[in-house]
Amino acid sequence: MHPPRNWFLTHPRSCLLVTLIVFFACLESLGRIRIDTQTKVLLEGDQRNLASYEKAMQILASESVLVVSMGHSNLFSVAGIQAVRRVSDAFSSLPDVADVKSLTHSVKPVRRGFSFKMEPLVSDESDAGLAALREFSLTHPLMKNVLVSADGTHTLLTVTFREAFSVPGQQRRLREDIEKILQPFQAEGLRFTVLSLPLIEDELRGAFKRDVQWMLPLLALLVGSILWLALRSWRVLVAMLLNLGFVSVFIFAGWMVLGFQLNVFSVILFPLLAAIHLTLLLHVYLGTQRAWRSGLKGPDAVATMTLEVRKPCTYSTITALFASLSLAFSEVQQVRDFGWMGVAGLAVIHGLTFGPGISFLRLCLDWIMNAAAGRPAEASRRPMLAEWWLALIQRRRPLVLFLSVGCMGLGALLAGRVRTDLRAVEFLANRSPTRLAVEQLDRVFGGINVVQVEFDSGRAGGVNDPAFLAYLERVQKTAASSPDFSGAYAYPQVLAMMNEIWEGGKPGSFRVPENSVFRALFVAALDAGRYPFLRALSDKDGRVAYLVLRSRDMPVSRYLKAVDSVLQTAKKGKPRGVRVSAQEGIHTILESDRKIVEGQLRSVGSTFAMIFAALAGMWRSVTIPFLSLSANAIPLAVVVALAALFDIPLNSITILVCAVSLGIAADDSVHLLTAWRERRRAGLSPGEALRATVLVVSRPIVFTSCILVSVLLLFSMSSFPPVRHFGLLSSAGLASAVLAVLSYLPAMLSEPAPDRHRARDYHA
């Protein structure tokens, strides 16, 4: 008999007709699917690099900028300068180039009477002129490590384009043009490192496509093999794959309708959801096979299966939903989108599996199951294997419980060693051209990390007040003397540079002018010449000045200590009315780690709490939900231990692991405990109920876990380290989860009979 009011069983044709109409309407949305490979995706979890990126965009006033590092053994020679000029001219010939800045294609202010004139930075190529240029480039505070590296062997060229290069074809063409330009110079022995946002996006897109090209066929082979071993019926396999393809269209359409944008990291959610969908389908079709082999046919077989598996599958979906919900309220945008996309996907999967999926199964049941008759020899081996395992666990119960508790303790012990030192370069493979370029620029040019501290003078034009300038200059010099900073730039240096030019470079002339008329003249000249450092170090109204600190990549604890020392200096002796704000300074950096750590703790804690509350309400028990979650503490401990032992950092991707693992791993414990509880309520003793439960649920638990672990193991071979780490940790967590469910829970349920109060709780 089918369940009451099950419209999907009683009116399967009408249900499928309505669903097909919606399905064809959803197909149109698939054409709008795009994978976002923007560079900013890499920086969401690393506020240090994100701040540096935004500061660079502010100075350059464009996102279409190509940065080229050129290495030459004798840069300040006629041959070296001519090489820089030839390379700069070659880039100037590219279409849509708006500007090229380099040693030979930059200007500097020069005094002409009572005004300033911009002249080429390299105007004298004699030995004396080049020696003076070298001295200026390597020692001047506003030039050192800006255009020329500290050792004088590398120089930077920046090429600004009018075009945005946002289309993949444009980005590929840009890469080809750059390679064509650099090839003859590389043949001469010149060394180049190239960095640009369009090139980074093109690299990410290419790596993603290569991953998909080999992952999808291998994934299909692995999952297909597991399903065949579980079902031994090609017709059932075809039916499941049809369901999977059908539901996938609805998932993508739902994401498009809700306005979600897929990127190279959030796209991992789809194979994860597909694996979860297959686990539900496996429970459905294995349950139908059992009913069919017991002699039930037609709607009776489907109805019996529905009564048997719908409740535990619903409970399992709810646990996964709560895990996604815990991520949906994260402060990190990527994590938040991942959570809401997971919620939408899980709702679609469960609704279609136990809605139209049941109608489809009802209509095609005879065709699907006729080739799936029972195999007596096979059926007899399975109970023997399950009984052997259960007997082994019961004999070794103290050892199983000791190892389980020991695993939890190890995870708790190592939790403090998990690294939260986030670096955007770790989102890229070790041999990634972009990562190598970033690391080379960081090493050669004195660092890529930039942090900004704001000094509000309290009034328009206040940054030119002598007391304010002297105070800010003192703070800047203190910061510049720190070995942790490769550069410290502040507004007084710009005025000091202009004064030096005004006085003809006399010794001691690099100082802030005392005369207010001169200061106003210098500011006007800089504004007229659009000197980029001026707007980077003060606002347009002259009210706020900025101290920009530059450093090499370093552990976040050391970085925070260095920045904090500068802030402490800034708070001492500041003029009345001046406000020092670290909103874009130390707090920005702390925000990165704080979001990651708090997000991890909050997602795990809220997932535990929500799952416990839901299961307690559905089971009307406190003890059984506690058993379920204690079993899932084991895989969490494994995940934490592996992250600590293998130095896998927490970032905006790996923080998903614990919540996702907990939500999915709870599936197996929910199925086992739900089945055990139903048999206890049917009057079986704890031991009989446990034996009957293990005989029925062990097979679907093992095969569904194999599907999930195989999908996640493929992630562990991705080109993107965060995705690789996510796959490694998640697969290890789920593998340990199934082991915990089939060992720890039977060991716990094999306890001596509980007292009356606990017995009532179990029976509730």
**Listed residue (663, 669, 488) closest to 566, CA to CA:** 488
* 224 lies in some domain: no
Can you spell out the DSSP letters for 77-93?
SHHHHHHHHHHHHHHHT
Among 36-50, 102-116, 129-143, 229-243, the range scoring the smallest mean pLDDT is 36-50
For the ranges 56-70, 185-199, 203-217, 553-567, the one whose mean pLDDT is highest: 185-199
**pLDDT for 2-21, tens place per residue?**
444 677 888 889 999 999 99
C-alpha 55, offset from chain centre? 22
**pLDDT for 450-460, tens place per residue?**
778 889 998 98
- What domain count does the chain have? 4
Query: Is the per-residue pLDDT at 78 higher than 90?
Result: yes
72-86 in b/e burial notation, b at 16+ Cβ within 10 A?
Answer: beebbeeebbebbbe
212-243 in b/e burial notation, b at 16+ Cβ within 10 A?
Answer: eeebeeebeebbeebbeebbebeebbebbbeb
The continuous run of DSSP H or E covering 545 comes out as strand 544-551
* Phi, psi dihedrals of residue 69, rounded to the nearest 5°: -100, 120
For the ranges 145-154, 413-422, 550-559, the one whose mean pLDDT is highest: 145-154
Same domain, 18 and 138: no
Last residue in a domain, options 550, 581, 612: 581
**pLDDT for 311-357, tens place per residue?**
888 888 888 888 788 777 776 677 788 889 999 999 999 999 999 99
Q: pTM score, two decimals?
A: 0.74
CATH number at residue 387: 1.20.1640.10
Strands 35-36 and 262-263: parallel
The residue-averaged pLDDT of 136-152 equals 85
Q: Cβ of 488: how many Cβ atoms within 10 Å?
A: 21
* 635 lies in some domain: yes
Q: What's the farthest any 2 CA atoms get from each other in the chain?
A: 106
**Listed residue (13, 35, 71, 131) closest to 720, CA to CA:** 35
Q: Return the pLDDT at 595.
A: 57
* 220 lies in some domain: no
Q: Return the pLDDT at 586.
A: 47
Residue 609 in tokens: 């709490």
Q: Return the pLDDT at 603.
A: 64
The continuous run of DSSP H or E covering 386 comes out as helix 376-395
The residue-averaged pLDDT of 396-405 equals 92
Give the full edge-to-edge strand order of the sheet including 579-581: 487-489, 544-551, 449-456, 579-581
Helix (H, G, I), strand (E, B) or coil at 153: coil
**No. of helices (H) and no. of strands (E), the chain:** 27, 12
Q: Return the pLDDT at 61.
A: 47
Q: With contact defined as beta carbons under 8 Å apart, do 423 and 46 qualify? A: yes
Confidence band (pLDDT; 50, 70, 90) for 297?
Answer: confident
Query: Is the per-residue pLDDT at 382 higher than 70?
Result: no
Same domain, 475 and 556: yes
Q: Return the pLDDT at 360.
A: 92
Among 23-37, 156-170, 241-255, 563-577, the range scoring the smallest mean pLDDT is 23-37
Q: Return the pLDDT at 421.
A: 58
Same domain, 762 and 617: yes
Confidence band (pLDDT; 50, 70, 90) for 403?
Answer: very high
Task: Report the distance separating Cα 645 and Cα 459, nearest Å.
Answer: 53
Q: Return the pLDDT at 380.
A: 44
Task: Report the distance separating Cα 243 and Cα 233, nearest Å.
Answer: 16
Domain that holds residue 300: 1-32+232-374
Question: According to DSSP H, which parts of 653-685 are helical?
Answer: 656-681
Task: Report the distance separating Cα 272 and Cα 148, nearest Å.
Answer: 48
Residue with tokens 């290495």: 71
Residue with tokens 């093992």: 702
* 129 lies in some domain: yes
Q: With contact defined as beta carbons under 8 Å apart, do 664 and 275 qualify? A: no
Same domain, 724 and 616: yes
**pLDDT for 646-684, tens place per residue?**
888 776 677 777 777 777 767 788 888 888 988 888 888
* 215 lies in some domain: no
**Listed residue (410, 427, 361) closest to 638, CA to CA:** 410
> How far, in Å, are 213, 387, 414, 459, 682 from residue 672 at the CA level?
37, 15, 30, 69, 15
* 597 lies in some domain: yes
Strands 191-196 and 154-161: unpaired
Query: Is the per-residue pLDDT at 589 higher than 50?
Result: no
Same domain, 655 and 601: yes
Same domain, 1 and 69: no
Same domain, 311 and 174: no
**Listed residue (144, 149, 142) closest to 499, CA to CA:** 142
* 221 lies in some domain: no
Q: Return the pLDDT at 368.
A: 85
Same domain, 69 and 183: yes
Q: Return the pLDDT at 3.
A: 47
* 216 lies in some domain: no
Task: Report the distance separating Cα 228 and Cα 368, nearest Å.
Answer: 14
Q: Return the pLDDT at 646.
A: 87
Confidence band (pLDDT; 50, 70, 90) for 373?
Answer: very low
Higher-confidence residue: 262 or 606?
Answer: 262
Q: With contact defined as beta carbons under 8 Å apart, do 529 and 109 qualify? A: yes
